[in-house]
Structure 1
């Protein structure tokens, strides 16, 4: 697994790099947001640890630019601990938010959790065969709806995988957050709603059936058509 660390304070970066390497990660470090963007376009990474307060470009802006071409998991580092910053970080595509000062061990633990959770488990084969309308190719990380591939973001993929794991079960927003956004608190309901809306739109391009049902005040469920 390869991690890109974008941090302009050398001492902090050295601690992060050292801790990650101790756990077997390959690590590359840069100090500027523009350098990070160049690296991401040149070589594959499994995750990026991104400081918000970079000297050349704000980390949130870096994340927005990255999301134009990659669904790479991103952990924000920041000296600020305001809820609005955490909300913004998650809504623009961040996976976690760590406030300085922090424990390098805890950061590494969060990296492991995210890398584990961004690879949703394939639904049981019996369910896939029974519900052939909606199929998952776990090797290609691709969902097929009536035989047509869906172009999903990582979050949409995770939401669909979670809902499909137990059709007709109502998942609360907090439960969906826990499955798809690791270490996020339940106050970020808007992130779930936004990605559910995007997922619904992509499903409806294939078929008019409303596959995802909203349960007001409760959450969401997936209801497969009979044919």
Structure 2
């Protein structure tokens, strides 16, 4: 939160000259205000208002009282427009090496906290999830069979019993990789690093499954369950006979 407050205040200061005189709240923000704005975003989702226009959330006649009781519409709008999670002044240079740089630092801290505050059960799963997003993003994907269809694809390792997200990696497109392993195998090995040598079991679908991955997991003390396409070359023809 300290990092978000710092860079949001930098953005507010940079944009103050562009704000109209009718904008009342143009000063610096703090942790309390930002936490309150995040709380309103959660409430908006809980009330199924994630696609409702901002103007319809604050009216006395139709809007939920908690929005007006927390902060004014102008203040909320100011915080959302200027919310920043990294140094905007150096982003362009960092983006040449990392497309995810705008949220990379906060994301890594978040995932680290997820790992440090939970011990997964003996059964975990690895799969992809499309986080709905229709904004401007160079690695936004379109997957027609997903509920949201447009969004950012995240590879996740989750506890099979509680569905807790233990580790995650964003998919930002093809890039130079340090290994010659297939991309699915690389994702599974990277996500499962914190649980290597623990004799846990990983379950995956047919996009991740391969004999090479099963052997790689066995070497690091992980068992494996997964489905396989029948056209995989490693499957013996004897298994394919009717």
Shared fold, TM over 0.5: no
In our comparison, the structure showing a higher alpha carbon Rg is 2
Q: What TM-score do the two structures reach when normalised by structure 1?
A: 0.28
Q: What TM-score do the two structures reach when normalised by structure 2?
A: 0.27
